[in-house]
Amino acid sequence: MPIFWTEADYLAVLAAWVAGLGCALVGLLKLRRRWRIGGKLTRIRTRVLGAALAVWSLLALVAAGEVVFVFFVDQSDAFNGTNVSKRWFRRYIDAQRNDDGFRDRRTLRTRLPPGTKRIVVFGDSYVAGHGLKRMEDRFTERLERAFNADGRERVWVLNLGEPGYEVTLIEGLVKAVLAQGEPVDMVVYCYMLNDIEGYDPRTEEFLRDINRRQPTHPLITRTYFVNWVYFRLQQLRQNAAVNYFPHLVDSYQTSAWNGVDRSLSNIQRACESAGVEFRLVLFPFMQGLGPDSPFLPAHRTLADWARGHGVPCLDLEPLLSAHRHEPIYVNSFDSHPNEYAHRLIADALYEWLKNAPRLVHSDG
């Protein structure tokens, strides 16, 4: 049973560890006092006590780190690798899921008020709000508040973002949602540049290799501070992003792009068959924004696809690139958009959507 979103057995071991260190320190100090009073504190025994206290200090430092990371460190990281981030995910993503399994207070079956339009937003962790503790701070909730600023429920925005989803999974999810026959006026697919992964075996193999290299020793897998230090050292030793990003850049020049083309076309046809407007939003990577970004050709490829298929498209790269010198991502280890970036995105989406014919009410 989790306590402080941490497993109870871990807390029991940590408590025993701290108590054992306290007893060990008392024992060492008493032994030193007894030897000194009895005139038995020889040079060898002094060295033994010094070595024992050095070991105790190291163990105490680790224990202190564990206590701090269990009770006071609460943050995410980009790949959700550390136990601190996994606990964050359980607390702020998994705990906020609705009956359909998505991080939203409503479900598709929630009955719309009369005359209210519904936008359904699809995407990955950027849409789900990875790194944001409150759903209210996401761009989807901000967008809904902008539409309903006068107190009338003109538009509902349903967030179906799911960390790890890519274009093939999004395609299946869009079709499944539309097949339910619930009222949907607009589908907005927030395409992240790594959504091509499902069609690129190189990238999939790279990600599988990362998973294969995960630690297995309990000292790393069942701790928080030690686990965090391990992953940071691994990050310094071999930056995964160095090998990950070139795969994605190259993917848009291979047959993988043909797969994305098919999936996007299938999503468009599914929306047209259901009488739902389809729109595309392009999310950039938050690292390396600016004129030298290697992903700019991929942005142009996706924008050209949307233009050629008559799909309204909003590329967020220019917006976020203009703010690249400001704090727009969660933390130094998590490059997802932070609350400020979500506000910028919501404002841009509202300006883009506020006059969309499918969302405009006849009474204004």
Cβ atoms 301, 195 nearer than 8 A: no
Alpha-carbon gap, residue 271 to 311, rounded angstroms:
11
Q: Residue 1: what pLDDT? A: 42
Q: Residue 97: what pLDDT? A: 98
**What distances in angstroms separate CA 100 from CA 103, 107, 120, 191, one per listed residue?**
9, 6, 14, 22
Per-residue pLDDT tens digits of the chain, which is 364 residues long:
455 678 889 999 999 999 999 999 999 999 999 998 888 889 999 999 999 999 999 999 999 999 999 999 999 998 888 999 999 999 999 999 999 999 999 999 999 999 999 999 999 999 999 999 999 999 999 999 999 998 888 999 999 999 999 999 999 999 999 999 999 999 999 999 999 988 987 776 776 766 666 788 989 999 999 999 998 888 777 655 556 677 788 899 999 999 999 999 999 999 999 999 999 999 999 988 999 999 999 999 999 999 999 999 999 999 999 999 999 999 999 999 999 999 999 999 999 999 999 998 655 5
Cβ atoms 188, 122 nearer than 8 A: yes
Alpha-carbon gap, residue 122 to 54, rounded angstroms:
54
pTM value is 0.91
Domain boundaries, the chain: 2-71, 83-353
Strand 313-315 relative to strand 277-283: parallel, antiparallel, unpaired? parallel
- Write down the residue that tokens 């408590």 correspond to: 15
Cβ atoms 354, 154 nearer than 8 A: no
217 token code pair = 């020793």
323 phi, psi to nearest 5 deg: -110, 20
- Residue 217's contacts (CB-CB under 8 Å, 6 or more residues apart) are none
Alpha-carbon gap, residue 324 to 320, rounded angstroms:
6
Selecting from 3.10.20.340, 3.40.50.150, 3.40.50.1110, 3.20.20.450, what CATH number does the domain 83-353 have?
Answer: 3.40.50.1110
213 token code pair = 């290299």
Alpha-carbon gap, residue 109 to 295, rounded angstroms:
38
Cα angle vertex 164, ends 192, 196, to 5°? Answer: 45
- Residue 244's contacts (CB-CB under 8 Å, 6 or more residues apart) are 203, 206
Alpha-carbon gap, residue 280 to 188, rounded angstroms:
6
- Residue 19's contacts (CB-CB under 8 Å, 6 or more residues apart) are none
Alpha-carbon gap, residue 330 to 126, rounded angstroms:
11
Per the document, the length of the chain is 364
Helices (H), 180-316: 201-212, 218-221, 225-237, 240-251, 255-274, 296-308
Alpha-carbon gap, residue 278 to 187, rounded angstroms:
5
347 token code pair = 């404002």
3-state secondary structure at position 99? coil
